[in-house]
Amino acid sequence: MSTAHDYGDERGPHTIADLDELPEEGRQYELVHGWLIRMVPGILHEECIAEITDILRPHVPADHVLREGYAVAVTDDTLYQPDIALVARDAARRAKKDRMRAVTGEDVLLAVEVQLARSGSWNTVHHFKFQDYALAGIQYYWIFDVADIPMLTAYELDGDVYRRTHQVTGDEIAELDEPVKVAFSPSEITA
């Protein structure tokens, strides 16, 4: 039995079904509380995702898969595509077999978002996704802020809210044990 969560009253007019009616099933959009948000990532954003993926991939547990841009349904009017998601292997197989639009938050162990300074999506990443990923049951959330001094902030779910476990900047080494054991500095991601 799932718990009912309050995602707020200010909702837009769109649902996941509306997103599916867009050309290419709305692949260039996320749906944030009923509002369509167009995603237009640049090269720096994509390269940071690739660097983080390369660091994580050798440490992925056998029962999970690492995916970029995998759709995660939070509610019927909220669908996100984390930059990187660590997804339960069974859920990924089921989604593929059943041609599902998205997995659920409970299928995702880790969501990683890469945030560029002045990109316009700060509020979505640091507020909406921060709250929604927690309420959806995603156990771990990492935000990688690309700035003059890059920063990684790691969170772990505590009940239905995130608790910060690590925050490292620049050349400091992030030594993370969960959900995968890795060590890296934010600077090596942006080098």
Residue 11 lies in a domain: no
Q: What is the pTM of this model?
A: 0.87
Give the pLDDT score at 137.
Answer: 97
Residue 27 lies in a domain: no
Residue 22 lies in a domain: no
Q: What is the pLDDT of residues 1-26, one digit of tens each?
A: 334 444 455 667 888 888 777 776 55
Task: Please give the order of strands across the beta sheet that includes 161-169.
Answer: 64-67, 84-88, 108-116, 140-146, 151-158, 161-169
d(Cα 2, Cα 54) in Å, to the nearest integer?
Answer: 34
Taking residues 86-113, report their average pLDDT.
96
Residue 14, judged by CB atoms within 10 A of its CB (0-12, 13-18, 19+), counts as buried
Taking residues 35-61, report their average pLDDT.
90
Residue 92 lies in a domain: yes
Local structure of 188: helix, strand or coil = helix
Residue 86 lies in a domain: yes
Q: What is the pLDDT of residues 134-166, one digit of tens each?
A: 999 999 999 999 999 999 999 999 999 999 999
Residue 168 has pLDDT above 90, yes or no: yes
Residue 37 lies in a domain: no
Residue 28 lies in a domain: no
- What is the rounded average pLDDT for all residues in the chain? 89
* CATH at 184: 3.90.1570.10
Please give the tally of structural domains in the chain.
1
Q: What is the pLDDT of residues 64-98, one digit of tens each?
A: 999 998 999 998 888 999 999 999 999 999 999 99
Residue 6 lies in a domain: no
Task: With beta carbons less than 8 A apart as the criterion, state whether 183 and 154 touch.
Answer: no
What is the extent of the structural domain holding 122? Answer: 42-190
Select the more confidently predicted residue: 189 or 19: 189
